A and B are shown apart, each in its own frame.
Chain A
Amino acid sequence: MDTLNALMSGFAVALSLQNLLLGFVGVTLGTAVGVLPGVGPALTVALLLPATASFDPTGALIMFAGIYYGAMFGGSTTSILLNTPGESATIVTAMEGNMMAKRGRAGPALATSAIGSFVAGTIATLLLTFVSPMAVDVALKFGPTEYFAVMVLAFVTVSAVLGASPARGLASLFLGLTIGLIGLDSQTGQARFTLGIPELLDGLDVVVVAVGLFAVGETLYVATYLNRTTDTIEQMKGSIWMSKEDWKRSWKPWLRGTALGFPFGCIPAGGAEIPTFLSYATEKKLSKHPEEFGKGAIEGVAGPEAANNASASGTLMPLLTLGLPTTATAAIILAAFQQYGLQPGPLLFDTQPELIWGLIASMYIGNVILLALNLPLVGLWVKLLTIPRPLLYAGILIFATMGAYGLRNSWFDLALLYGIGVMGFVMRRYDIPVAPVLVGMILGPLSEQQFRRALAISQGDLTIFVTQPISATVLAITALVVIVPQVWRLIRRMRASAIGHESPV
């Protein structure tokens, strides 16, 4: 009942003209940056961060959250139409979605993705509404010991983002961890790996690294290697609407995708990418038309799209209740909170109820707006891509450099941006995944600090990690996450060899 009341007062906040407008701007902007390859929600929020310092925090955060889940909506559009994922979480969508488009079924593909995102976003927001207040009580029980255990779990789940080659994935992760070491050690106050450069004392900014790796790296790569081939925009043929058969084949994947996406959003470094892969694998396994996979199966669009949207909403739960960012965008939204002197965490529900509930309520509204935008206006969004490539990327870089420079008005950050851009270029060229760099850069310093804080409090007693109930439980789950797939693989292998003629994938 309390929750319902709180939610109702949240709607009162979210429905104020200003917040409604900011929410609208947020989801629209989010859809736009989702559509644009190389510009993501993290970059957009980061660019807007200094600019919104003087805003009312509630309105600004409603806008930022809108950008985040709006981008998940928009990312699928380019995946389907151009086979160019606008977001890393929509890579899977490109696999089946673009095949559907090539067969002239872009309409149903875009529709199932939009409706699936809406369904998933709404269910996930309901979960966020009714589970979060309870989670707050649990959240206060999290001290450095418990946080460190969660970090260990996060590192284990990271393996799924490492890509096709464990060697390159790990190299990328360790590169990120190394970058994360740069700066003042917060426990002793001494500089590490700053090479005597004062600008490095605070460490590298996640925004500069993200913008460098994605925007600058992508620009250099596309100009150098891909500019000769032209992107062709698929024509939409037939009806935009899904047939009865399409609905029948979509609704279960939507729900399953949501079920996979939300918890992955909640766990640190679960991110939106892993559940889309899991959803794709699940749908392929359960589909009555497995032969269509790889040729444009609607389930392969519906499931992953629901998963990435559910995880975007799920991400907000640990962020709001624990102050724990589980994705790059969440990390920047966390910075946004701090910009207003707010520390997300258990207390925020007490100290800023109108902000939190206004934010949650705005997500229900935002999902409706997104559906309204993405179904009928999809043709208009596609027009963004008709901007000639030279102008598109030149425009992107103006925003990228402004974002980096605006942080502290220093040319040093621009030099850093270019250097990291070249690194991103090389990584793309040699198929080294870039996402683990950011994951390592965010998780590394957090886990080190929590580990050392926990041990300071326990005065060097390592057993604290297994004697504290929450920490012990999380570590046990971690062990299961590592062991269960191995056992499963073993069983499958045994079964496969028993049947004898099932070839491994």
Chain B
Amino acid sequence: MSTHARIHPGELLISLALLALGSFVVLETQGISETQGYSQVGPRLFPYLIGTGLTLCGAWLGWQALTGGWRNVPLDDGTHAAPDRMAFVIISAGVLLHMVLIGWAGFILASTLLFVLIARGFGSTKPVRNLIIAAVLSAVVFFLFTQGLGLTLPAGPFGGA
């Protein structure tokens, strides 16, 4: 059995986050006004139970993290040794820019950018090819869904109105 020699900060952090979220649920439940009606059970019971459960899970995992690490974690085969942080950042930027842009730049432009950024995040080095594929795919998806199927997606500056 190989166990973690040191406390893993990530594990501890997640445990604490769950603990905090659970406690928040329990506290927030007090703000729900209790109307039991004929059932004798109001809208507070389940939030209390669930919040308590989540808090206990957080505490359990926190205890595990402090006593040799989480149990039954698959042996680390080096997968997590060298995270590609840049990939994470580029893909996140793609998704978030898409969120900001879709409203006024329209679906096609926003999705094209999303595609190009994600392909870049995965290490693609052919931006021109990706741009062409992205534009075509976005346009086809846009027209299939809006024209063919009646779903409304923002058209952006090309949309006229």
Contact = CB atoms under 8 A, between A and B. Distances in A.
Contact of B95 (A417, A429, A455): A417
A464 to B, nearest CB: 11
Interface stretch (A14-22, A311-319, A349-357, A408-416): A408-416
Given A220-B92, A402-B111, A455 B122 contact: no
Contact of A393 (B54, B80, B88, B122): B122
A287 interface: no
A219 B118 contact: yes
A394 interface: yes
Interface string A384-405: 0000111101110111011001
What class of interface size applies to chain A in its complex with B? 35 or more
Contacts of A426: 14
A459 B38 contact: yes
A391 B47 contact: no
A188 B43 contact: yes
A224 B95 contact: no
B79 to A, nearest CB: 5
Given A165-B70, A418-B96, A398 B111 contact: yes
A224 B145 contact: no
Interface string A277-299: 00000000000000000000000
A452 B50 contact: no
B109 interface: no
Contact of A224 (B18, B87, B100, B103): B87
A53 B149 CA distance: 8
A52 interface: yes
Contacts of B60: 167, 170-171
Contact of B33 (A50, A51, A190, A453): A190
Contacts of A177: 50, 53-54
A343 B38 CA distance: 27
B22 A401 contact: no
B137 A398 contact: yes
19 contacts: A50-B149, A51-B145, A53-B150, A171-B18, A181-B47, A187-B39, A190-B32, A193-B25, A225-B83, A390-B119, A390-B120, A390-B122, A394-B114, A402-B111, A405-B102, A406-B153, A411-B102, A430-B10, A444-B46
